[in-house]
Amino acid sequence: MANDTASRDRVKGSWLLAYSLPGLPIAALGLPLAVHVPNFYAVEVGLGYGLAGAVFGMARFLDIFMDPAMGVITDRTRTRWGRRRIWMVISVPIMIAASFFLFMPAKGTGWETTTAALIAVFIGWTMLTISHLAWGGELTSDYHERSRVTASREAAYVIGMLTVLLLPVIIERQGGDRWEQIAAFGWYVIITLPIAVLVAVTVIPERKVPPSPHLSLSVALKAIAGNVPLRFILFCDLVAGFSTGTVATLFLAMSRVGLQLGDKANVMLLIYFAMGVLFIPPMVRVSRWLGKHRTLALSSFINFLLLPCFFLIPPGAFLPAAILFTFLGMNMSVGPFLYRAIMADVADHDHVETGQARAGIYFSLLALTNKLGYTAAIFVAFGVLQFIGFHEKSANAPFVVDEMMMLYVIPPTIVSLIVAIVMWRFPLDEAKQKELRRVIEERGIAGSAIGARTGLDLEGSSEEEAEEESGTPAPRPAE
C-alpha cells in the first residue's frame, strides 16, 4: 500500500525544484538575521549588546503574533490563484524594501529605525514563510513523500546559507569591511527573492480546496488544544528553537574568542552547512527506515553527545574544530526538515477531527514556537554577555570566556536530550497517518457523491452533515 500511495502522490522533480527555490532568499535572510546582523548592530552600529538584544528580541516577539494570524488568513483565502501563492507574491516588495533599510543602514542608525526595519522585514517574512510551509504540506499526502518535499526545501535553505556565507569571505579578501559584508546579504535577498517566487508560483498549481462549513472559534481552538501529536511537536520545536537560537546568536563569539579561530569562523560555518547539504539524502533514507519521529529523536541524541566536545578543543586548533563541525553538520538538517514533514501529518489529524484543511494555522504554530525559542535565546544570550562583561573586540578575563562557552554548550546539550526522549514517544507514525489520509480521501469521495445527487458541494462538509444528507455514516478512523 505504501508503494501505491507513493507512486500515486509523488511530487514531480520539476515541482520540487520550483518549490524549493524560495528557500534560497529565505535562508539568505534568516541566517544573517540569526548570526551576523544582531552582532553587527551591537558592535559596528554601536547599539551595544543590551540594546541590540532588546531591539532584536522585541521585534521577534512582535513577529510571533503575526504567525497565527497569517496562518488563519491563508487558510481562509480564496482567489483564482489559490490560497498560498498570492501571499508569497505580496511579500516580495515588502521584503525588498525592508531588506534595503536593514542591511544597508547609515552609520549611527538608532534603535528606532532599526526596530522599524526589523518589523517590516518580519511582516514580509511571515507572509512568505507561512504560505510557503503550508503550501509544501499540501503538495502530497504521502507520509514519506512529505519528507522528500521538506528535505528538498531544506536543501535549498542550506545551499542558500552556503552561498550567502561565501559573500563575507569574498568581500573580506577584497579588502571590504563588515558594512560591505552586511550590505551583500541584503543585495542577495533583493536579487534572488523575486526570481525564486516567480518561478515557484508559475510552475506549480495549487490543489483546489472545496469550501468548508463554518467552524466556530471555540470548536477550532478545542480541536487544536485536543490534538495530542501537536503538543509533542510544538514543545520540542519550542525548546529546539531556544537551542538553535543560542548556538546561532553566540556562534561568532564562541568561534572567534572561545575557540580563538578569528576569521576562520566563516570557514567553520561553510563546513557545517556543506555537510548539511550532503547528508540530507541519506537522512531521508534513514527516516524511511526508522520513521520520521524516531530519526528526529536519534539526531537529537547525537547532538547531545557531540556538543560537549567543544570543551575539548584547544584554543586556536583549527583541525579538531573542523572535524567537530563536520560531524555536527552531518546532523544539522535533520530537525528542520523532519519537524515540517511531521507537522503536515499532524495537520491531517486536525483535518479528520474538524473536516477542514487548516495546514496554514498548523504551520504558523510551528513557526511561532520556533520564533519564541529564538526570541528567548536572543534575550538570554545577549543579556548574559552583557551581565558577565563579555566583549568581542577587547580582552576578556579567562573566566568570562569560560562562562560564555558554557552558555553556548550546556543549554543546547540539555535541550537535545529532552527532545530525543520526547520525540521517541511521538504518537503519530506512518500507519496512523495512512489511516488519517484514508478517512480524508473517503470523506471527500462521499461528499462529492452526495453533492452530485443534491446539487451541493459537500466535500468539506462535517460528518454530521454528510450523514444527514446520505443516511449513511461518514468514514472515521479505525480504532
Confidence bin at 423 (pLDDT 50/70/90):
very high
| Cα first-last separation, the chain | 19
**The predicted structure's pLDDT at residue 447:** 53
- Tell me which H or E stretch contains 215: none
Which amino acid makes up residue 224?
I
Looking at the predicted structure, is the pLDDT value of residue 468 above 70?
A: no
Looking at the predicted structure, is the pLDDT value of residue 378 above 60?
A: yes
CB 302 within 8 A of CB 270: no
Percent of the chain at pLDDT > 70 equals 87
Q: What is the CATH number of the domain that holds 351?
A: 1.20.1250.20
The 10s digit of each residue's pLDDT in 56-71 is: 877 777 777 788 888 8
**The predicted structure's pLDDT at residue 214:** 55
CA distances from 97 to 91, 117, 309, 391, 419 (A): 10, 9, 42, 33, 38
446 assigned to some structural domain: no
CB 353 within 8 A of CB 23: no
CB 137 within 8 A of CB 1: no
The domain tally of the chain equals: 1
The 10s digit of each residue's pLDDT in 184-229 is: 899 999 999 999 999 999 999 887 765 555 555 566 667 777 888 8
Looking at the predicted structure, is the pLDDT value of residue 302 above 80?
A: yes
Task: Return the higher-pLDDT residue of 138 and 213.
Answer: 138
The 10s digit of each residue's pLDDT in 93-129 is: 999 999 998 998 877 788 888 888 888 998 998 999 9
**The predicted structure's pLDDT at residue 318:** 92
Looking at the predicted structure, is the pLDDT value of residue 260 above 80?
A: yes
d(CA 223, CA 113): 41
**The predicted structure's pLDDT at residue 462:** 43
Q: State pTM to two decimals.
A: 0.72
Looking at the predicted structure, is the pLDDT value of residue 254 above 80?
A: yes
266 assigned to some structural domain: yes
Task: Select from 31, 67, 62 the least CA-distant residue to 367.
Answer: 67
Which amino acid makes up residue 280?
I
439 assigned to some structural domain: no
CA distances from 328 to 59, 161, 267, 325 (A): 30, 16, 14, 5
What is the mean predicted confidence (pLDDT) over 290-306?
A: 93
Q: What is the DSSP string of 17-62?
A: HHHHTTHHHHHHHHHHHHTTHHHHHHHTS--HHHHHHHHHHHHHHH
Confidence bin at 297 (pLDDT 50/70/90):
very high
**The predicted structure's pLDDT at residue 450:** 47
**The predicted structure's pLDDT at residue 419:** 95
Looking at the predicted structure, is the pLDDT value of residue 362 above 60?
A: yes
What is the mean predicted confidence (pLDDT) over 329-349?
A: 84
6 assigned to some structural domain: no
400 assigned to some structural domain: yes
Looking at the predicted structure, is the pLDDT value of residue 371 above 70?
A: yes
Confidence bin at 80 (pLDDT 50/70/90):
confident
**The predicted structure's pLDDT at residue 278:** 85
Looking at the predicted structure, is the pLDDT value of residue 406 above 80?
A: yes
What is the mean predicted confidence (pLDDT) over 137-157?
A: 85
Domain that holds residue 76: 20-208+228-434
455 assigned to some structural domain: no
CB 70 within 8 A of CB 86: no
215 assigned to some structural domain: no
Q: Which residues contact 88 (CB under 8 A, 6 or more apart)?
A: 22, 127, 128, 131, 132, 135, 197, 200, 201
**The predicted structure's pLDDT at residue 405:** 93
Task: Return the higher-pLDDT residue of 470 and 251.
Answer: 251
Q: How many helices (H) and strands (E) does the chain have?
A: 20, 0
Average pLDDT over all residues of the chain = 82
406 assigned to some structural domain: yes
Confidence bin at 479 (pLDDT 50/70/90):
very low
Task: Select from 75, 83, 77 the least CA-distant residue to 224.
Answer: 75
**The predicted structure's pLDDT at residue 51:** 84
